A and B are shown apart, each in its own frame.
Chain A
């Protein structure tokens, strides 16, 4: 493991390398191929504006360590909030309780853990408060129909130290800042809501006046749009997915089914399809942990594997799954650096980072013009998929009816329903306008939530159920 910035120790954990080595030895005392320790000291702060005032604050402090022992595909795990050597050895003994037939392995001397980044200062609460009051004032200025504003600035600083039984490890500071705005507009006795957010792994320096203006305009426009929008009779029809937040399709319908724990167990619909042509040659899909400041960016994953860019589908051919150490070992391949966990209270799983489809060469205009009657799906608010069957449902907050190649009627609140592999096969045009959606995207799996992003150029899906 390379020393990226320095080898200085973080000040958050008092355990010495010798003590950590001893704890790893306890973890592997009853056998096991691999063990790791994940120490975490996290602070989360948020301030919220509602009812015209900044009257609510939250702060969360999480401190503890998770210890894992792996034998093949079996995992023993324990965590403790007391990181004294005594408590850590006790947790290590529980983690070691997974049955093992292998003899204890020799753990090399632990190397000093490289510190990957310097700590980023958190925003002073008084500055957050000032930004929130500005947002409130500006929202009312943008439209007199705005009757309620809610805004929140949340910052998380996760300080971690990771060490594993091959003697390597790292320390990292992982900042994450989220700005969330919701507004309520009223007209003629009717109420509509709009939401907007941005989330990056960095300090709050991205919250500029320009960003605030862009986000507010977007949020108010989205809410006002809904006054005139309609729902239409459902059925099967062509769907044009707009660039950006439609990338939820990549995440839900495709990405989850590429997570290699679902491949290892045979649950995923993509099991056994490695190397096969699964869609048109014009389609390339990537899961990327290298985008600077992105919510899914990882310098190292939570198993000590360097962050990287993984091509899932290369010109229509299934090129790789998303691996953590366990699935990589099972399949005899290198981990793709997708082992992630929410906190020390969770064991790592294969998880996505930033998942997107690469740009094609069609213009958005050409794609819309090609549709006789269908839907232009513009903004999605959530989605869900059943990994095994590949069936998904995405909720479209707003969009347009396409008639004779033109956007004619504003639409709202409709579901797009389909099947992941089938949708891939029915994508017939890919736009040249890839956009990564940096809204506050959290992905849930196995009771854990991690930050992700997703992206898509405008694409045409020849048929999907809309309702």
Chain B
């Protein structure tokens, strides 16, 4: 906090007419990698840094430093002010209206493990070793079995010159297994599985390795299937990637830049009526939970899509000014999609002429049209049974057209993710292969 006050005083002293946003961040991280029973990497880091937005009569500069000695900080601010003054004014660049700031009366969001950085590293090492041993015992013939443990504590103090002071904190720890096998034809299929928690005490000590190995072994022998129209089951962990182009197109920056295929579509039905998604950052004990965004603006539960109808755009203060519309929020924090009733296994059992996509491998979606092409891998399903792993294929189409053809939803969300999205069934998707 001392550095925050030094910075604020220095700005006020040199440039009294400057507005500013200061964010002082403290982060602690631990990383452990174990491969085939042997520790490969152990890393520990603590870092403090300062991010600063300066606004001088519409001139907007962003500055970041981790050299926070008083002398370095003062030199940094002098230089920042000098640089910002060189810019041309942009009247849209203002701080948020103070009436929108979070007022600081919320209860604990229960999203911070205060003990994480103080826990003896040997305890984290034991957890990682246990996972690695489990994997080695389950499948000793693997080329490689890797365990990756990582955790992060984040705390940030905010000071905004037109009347906001705030503090936010979060933590996460992740335990991931990655298995690499060898097939008879010399291929090296690899896949993994990970679990993330806010509190280390909630991390499962068993089971992750088995999922990673199963996911790898089932890929052996993958090859492209024939090109054509298939039903597509998109597995829950990658649904977010397929939703991302739509979330991007809802952003004020894309709308203002004439690069959004959603321009003019607010309040229109653009997705299947089965799709309802909210952003709810106010649920205690969930990842992404927060009371205010990077601008200090209070967050709220917000419907993004209700039965396929687009209900909002992501408009921050600057783009609200540029577009001449009211501001909403900067973006998403904790997405929750309304689920269906079936498990993934039930979705597979009712599938025919279907490809279940389990991962993307490159590709693009044109932000101005929504036309996309993504490399994929997954499994061909016939008569409710997985008959072949597939790879070397792609899917093409228009992202809105495909999202209008949602025909079923799973119930398999992971409550520990920041995006709670189930597996989804899409009809008539174009697959390119042989």
Contact between chains at B43 and A347 (CB < 8 Å): yes
Contact between chains at B43 and A78 (CB < 8 Å): yes
Q: Which of B35, B45, B63 lies at the interface centre, i.e. has the most chain A CB atoms within 10 A of its CB?
A: B45
Contact between chains at B188 and A389 (CB < 8 Å): yes
Contact with A along B380-416 (1 / 0, CB 8 A): 0000000000011110100000000000000000000
Contact between chains at B143 and A266 (CB < 8 Å): yes
In Å, the complex CA distance between A383 and B83 comes to 36
Contact between chains at A465 and B363 (CB < 8 Å): no
Contact with B along A64-90 (1 / 0, CB 8 A): 100000000111111111000000000
Q: Which of A59, A73, A266, A395 contacts B363 (CB 8 A)?
A: A395
**A403 contacts chain B at the CB level, 8 A cutoff:** no
Shortest Cβ distance from B142 into A: residue: A266
Shortest Cβ distance from B42 into A: residue: A76
Q: Which of A62, A77, A234, A386 contacts B227 (CB 8 A)?
A: A234
How many residue pairs, one in A and one in B, have C-beta atoms under 8 Å apart? 228
- Across-interface contacts of A291 in B (CB, < 8 A): none
**A406 contacts chain B at the CB level, 8 A cutoff:** no
Contact between chains at A98 and B39 (CB < 8 Å): yes
Contact between chains at B42 and A97 (CB < 8 Å): yes
A56-B62, A269-B188 known; A465-B432 Cβ under 8 A:
yes
In Å, the complex CA distance between A271 and B373 comes to 31
Contact between chains at A386 and B361 (CB < 8 Å): yes
In Å, the complex CA distance between A191 and B36 comes to 52
Contact between chains at A231 and B396 (CB < 8 Å): yes
Contact between chains at B373 and A395 (CB < 8 Å): yes
Contact between chains at B87 and A64 (CB < 8 Å): no
**B40 contacts chain A at the CB level, 8 A cutoff:** yes
**A99 contacts chain B at the CB level, 8 A cutoff:** yes
Contact with B along A165-187 (1 / 0, CB 8 A): 00000000000000000001010
Shortest Cβ distance from B395 into A: residue: A467
In Å, the complex CA distance between A54 and B46 comes to 36
In Å, the complex CA distance between A65 and B369 comes to 46
Q: Which of A57, A234, A391 contacts B432 (CB 8 A)?
A: A234
Q: Which of B41, B146, B259 contacts A184 (CB 8 A)?
A: B259
User: Which residues in window 155-207 of B have CB below 8 A to A?
Assistant: 180, 182, 186-190
- Across-interface contacts of B49 in A (CB, < 8 A): 81
In Å, the complex CA distance between A79 and B27 comes to 12
Contact with B along A260-274 (1 / 0, CB 8 A): 000001111101000
Contact between chains at B64 and A60 (CB < 8 Å): yes
User: Which residues in window 298-343 of B have CB below 8 A to A?
Assistant: 322
Contact between chains at B61 and A267 (CB < 8 Å): no
- Across-interface contacts of B61 in A (CB, < 8 A): 56-59
Contact with B along A139-168 (1 / 0, CB 8 A): 000000001101000000000000000000
Q: Which of A54, A75, A80, A391 contacts B87 (CB 8 A)?
A: A54
Q: How many residues of B contact A (CB 8 A)?
A: 75
Within the complex, the shortest CB–CB distance from A371 to chain B, in Å, comes to 20
Contact between chains at B258 and A186 (CB < 8 Å): yes
Contact with B along A39-71 (1 / 0, CB 8 A): 000000101000101111111111110000000
**B60 contacts chain A at the CB level, 8 A cutoff:** yes
**B362 contacts chain A at the CB level, 8 A cutoff:** yes
Contact between chains at B187 and A395 (CB < 8 Å): no
Contact between chains at B188 and A466 (CB < 8 Å): no
Contact between chains at B180 and A62 (CB < 8 Å): no
**B154 contacts chain A at the CB level, 8 A cutoff:** no
- Across-interface contacts of A275 in B (CB, < 8 A): none
**B117 contacts chain A at the CB level, 8 A cutoff:** no
Contact with A along B86-121 (1 / 0, CB 8 A): 111110010000000000000000000000000001
Contact between chains at A75 and B41 (CB < 8 Å): yes
Contact between chains at A56 and B375 (CB < 8 Å): no
A55-B93, A467-B432 known; A75-B375 Cβ under 8 A:
no
Shortest Cβ distance from A81 into B: residue: B66
User: Which residues in window 5-58 of B have CB below 8 A to A?
Assistant: 35-36, 38-49, 58
Contact between chains at B363 and A393 (CB < 8 Å): yes
In Å, the complex CA distance between A386 and B391 comes to 11
Mind listing 10 A-B residue pairs with CB under 8 Å?
A57-B62, A58-B61, A347-B41, A384-B361, A389-B190, A389-B391, A413-B373, A417-B432, A418-B392, A419-B392
* 9 tightest A-B CB contacts, nearest first: A467-B432, A393-B375, A393-B362, A234-B432, A384-B362, A388-B188, A55-B90, A61-B65, A388-B190
Instruction: Spell out A's residues near B (CB within 8 Å).
Output: 45, 47, 51, 53-64, 73-81, 94, 97-99, 125-126, 129, 147-148, 150, 184, 186, 191-193, 231, 233-236, 265-269, 271, 345, 347, 381-395, 413-415, 417-419, 465-467
